[in-house]
Copies of this chain bind each other. A is one copy, B any other.
Amino acid sequence: MKIAMVGSGALGLYYGALLQRGGHEVHFLLRSDYDAIMSNGLTVHSINGDFYLPSVSGHTTSDTIGTVDLVVVGLKAFANNCLQNLIQPLIAADTHILTLQNGLGNEELLADLFGPERVLGGVAFLCSNRGEPGHVHHLGAGRIIIGEYQSLDNLRLERIASVFTSSGIECSTTGDLKKARWEKLVWNIPFNGLCALLQQTVDQLLRVPGCRKLVRELMIEVITAANAQHLNEAISENYADSMLEFTDGMGVYKPSMQIDREEGRELETQAIFRVPLEYGRQQGVSMPRTEMLVVLLEQGKSILST
């Protein structure tokens, strides 16, 4: 299958490398890593075993890629205003678009731009960070859950899942993409938010009882808002506890938003906080801690910019 990775950060480089190793024709849209990867290839440092791709098809523009079978979107959501230009040259009649981006609102945007029938979404439970140019570090997990944006074609969904699984990526399918997205937010909202705000790793938050309690309270706010969204099946409060335990197992981990803040980059506050807050508000769900967290994150940004 011919695949374009649009947004080749820690997520795009990692999954793209596995797909290429799995025998697919993968094209990476690159920015900062372009020179390093074209000269020296791509190195994956993984808990499942390191590997090295000496030859990678890197591009600085989508025009040189041409049309593809599958576009995998791993761009930070704050750059979504670039998606039209980045993806348009890749689209043929039967091209599918799978967004693995964080937060809410990404499928909707892609559906508006390129038609809902092309769009699939997925959530990735992946601990990975970029290293020096041309290197990506896979620190833990890696499972993907994918679903149809409009439940049109279950066979297609299974076929795309098999592209991942046959490349060594654990990938399951769901009939309720909305639920999967909100479940991911149960993790992203407290951990991305608090780690970025406090510049602390997940273990530093979880070992202080008062802060662990705050993490759980944020999770419960997200679960309450999720369950007001007419999911096929409700998310149980136990999910919060299982996410706490899952995160205990991560050890010293910096979520991507912590790194973004540390390096002075823009934060994905819109997709991860503002859209979920608005969806909660529309259903009459109050999320005081979640709202306070994004206000503090945005206020912190105003420090950096003044």
Chain B residues in 8 Å Cβ range of A199: 303
Measured between beta carbons, the chain B residues less than 8 angstroms from A288 are 217, 288-289
Contact for A204 among B194, B296, B298, B306, CB less than 8 A: B306
Query: How far is A29 from B108 in the complex, measured between Cα atoms in Å?
Result: 66
B295 and A214 contacting across the interface, CB-CB below 8 Å: yes
Asked if A97 is at the interface (CB within 8 A of a chain B CB), the reply is: no
Asked if A208 lies at the interface with its beta carbon under 8 angstroms from chain B, I say yes
- Known contacts A204-B306, A306-B204; A198/B292 CB under 8 A: no
Given the known inter-chain contacts A198-B303, A204-B306, please indicate yes or no for A210 contacting B289, CB distance below 8 A: no
The number of times this chain is found in the oligomer is 2
Q: Does A200 contact B (CB under 8 A)?
A: yes
> B303 near A210 (CB under 8 angstroms)?
no
A302 to B197, CA, bound (A): 14
A 229-264 binary contact with B (CB < 8 Å = 1; else 0): 000000000000000000000000000000000000
Find residues 135-176 in chain A having any chain B CB closer than 8 Å to their own CB: none
Is B214 touching A292 in the complex (CB atoms < 8 A)?
yes
Residue from A199, A293, A302 with most neighbouring chain B CB atoms (10 Å): A302
Q: How far is the CB of A244 from chain B (nearest CB, A)?
A: 16
Residues of B within 8 A of A300 (CB): 198
Q: Which residues of B contact A295 (CB under 8 A)?
A: 210-211, 213-214
A194, A200, A299, A303, most chain B CB atoms within 10 A? A299
Complex contacts, A298 vs chain B, CB 8 Å: 208, 210-211
Pair A198/B299 contact, Cβ less than 8 Å: yes
Q: Does A205 contact B (CB under 8 A)?
A: yes
Pairwise interchain contact A302-B217, C-beta atoms closer than 8 A: no
In the complex, which residues 268-306 of chain A have their Cβ closer than 8 Å to any Cβ of chain B?
A: 288-289, 291-293, 295-296, 298-300, 302-303, 306
Contacts of A205 in B (CB 8 A): 299
B198 touching A296 by the CB < 8 A rule? yes
- Complex formed: what's the CA distance from A300 to B194 in Å? 11
- Taken together as a complex, chains A and B put the C-alpha atoms of A300 and B200 apart, in Å, by 9
CB atoms of A303 and B200 under 8 A apart? yes
Residues of chain B within 8 A of A291, CB atoms compared: 214
What are the 8 A-B residue pairs with the smallest beta carbon separation, nearest first? A210-B295, A214-B295, A288-B288, A211-B299, A289-B292, A198-B299, A211-B295, A288-B289
6 cross-chain CB contacts under 8 A:
A194-B296, A204-B303, A210-B295, A211-B298, A214-B291, A292-B293
Beyond the given A208-B302, A211-B299, A289-B292, could you list 5 further A-B residue pairs with CB under 8 A, ordered by the A residue number? Answer: A194-B296, A198-B303, A200-B303, A204-B306, A288-B288
